[in-house]
Amino acid sequence: MVFQQVIKYFNCSIIEGHRGEVLQHLYFTQGKTQLDWPLGKHNKIPSEAVDVMPYPINWYDKKRMCYFAGYVMSTGLLLGIKLRWGHDWDGDTDLNDQKFNDGPHYELID
């Protein structure tokens, strides 16, 4: 629901939603995720996590990723949907205190 609203005003691409066991384990062994199967929110059906990038996709443009995240997080707040962003896991808005950065990652908070 959040990204249905976001896409109306900010062009973006959903890179990944649900992730199966083989891919989750591969990403875990490669260090691309901190959680192995079946502990990740990408592993749930329906998925409780998505990886989304603003379009055009530029993996090195961290400023644009942060700008986009602000829009996404604000949209979630306006809709009453609590989200966690992968570049601010603890939700304190301090982006410098993270041990694992996953800028494209957004997940529902229980």
Q: What is the pLDDT of residues 37-95, one digit of tens each?
A: 999 999 999 999 999 999 999 999 999 999 999 999 999 999 999 999 999 999 999 99
pLDDT at residue 103 tops 90: yes
- Give the other-Cβ count within 10 Å of 92's Cβ: 9
- 37, 24 contact by CB (below 8 A): yes
Q: Total structural domains in the chain?
A: 1
H helices within 1-110, ranges in order? Answer: 2-9, 21-29, 62-79
- What pLDDT, on the 0 to 100 scale, is given for residue 69? 98
pLDDT of amino acid 110: 85
Q: What is the pLDDT of residue 41?
A: 97
8 A C-beta contact, residue 89 and residue 96: no
**Domain residue limits at 102:** 2-108
CATH of the domain at 28: 3.30.1380.10
For residue 31, what pLDDT is reported? 94
